[in-house]
Amino acid sequence: MWAIIVVVMVSSLIPFYWLINTSLKFGPGLSTADLWPRDPSFQNYVDVLNDGRFLTAVGNSVIVASVTTLLALLFGSSAAYALARLPLPRKAVMLTLVSAVTTFPVITIIAPIFEIWTQIGLYDTLIGLIIPKLTFSLPLAIFTLTSFFREIPSELEEAAAIDGCGPITTFVRVILPLATPGLAATAILVFISAWNEFLLAVALTSTPAAQTVPVAIAYFTGVNQFEIPLGTIAAASVIVTIPLLAVVLVFQRRIVAGLTSGAVKG
Stronger pLDDT, 81 or 259, i.e. the higher one: 81
Residue 43 within any structural domain of the chain: no
Residue 130 within any structural domain of the chain: yes
Structural domain containing residue 141 = 52-260
Residue 45 within any structural domain of the chain: no
Measured CA distances, 78 to 25, 174, 214 (Å): 49, 14, 31
Spatial distance between the Cα atoms of 214 and 49, rounded to a whole number of angstroms: 15
Counting residues of the chain whose pLDDT is more than 70, the rounded percentage is 92
Measured CA distances, 199 to 10, 54, 143, 212 (Å): 29, 18, 23, 11
User: Residue 36: what are its φ and ψ, rounded to 5°?
Assistant: -145, 135
Residue 24 within any structural domain of the chain: no
- 8 A C-beta contact, residue 73 and residue 258: no
pLDDT at 163: 80
Spatial distance between the Cα atoms of 23 and 37, rounded to a whole number of angstroms: 9
3-class DSSP assignment, residue 162: helix
Domains in the chain: how many in total?
Answer: 1
The number of residues in the chain equals 266
Residue 11 within any structural domain of the chain: no
Measured CA distances, 240 to 2, 44, 48, 59, 249 (Å): 31, 14, 11, 11, 15
Taking all residues of the chain, what is their mean pLDDT, rounded to a whole number?
A: 84
Which CATH number fits the domain that encloses residue 118?
1.10.3720.10
pLDDT at 254: 63
- 8 A C-beta contact, residue 73 and residue 186: yes
Residue 169 within any structural domain of the chain: yes
pLDDT digits (tens, 9 = 90+) for 204-243: 999 989 999 999 998 887 655 556 788 889 999 999 888 7
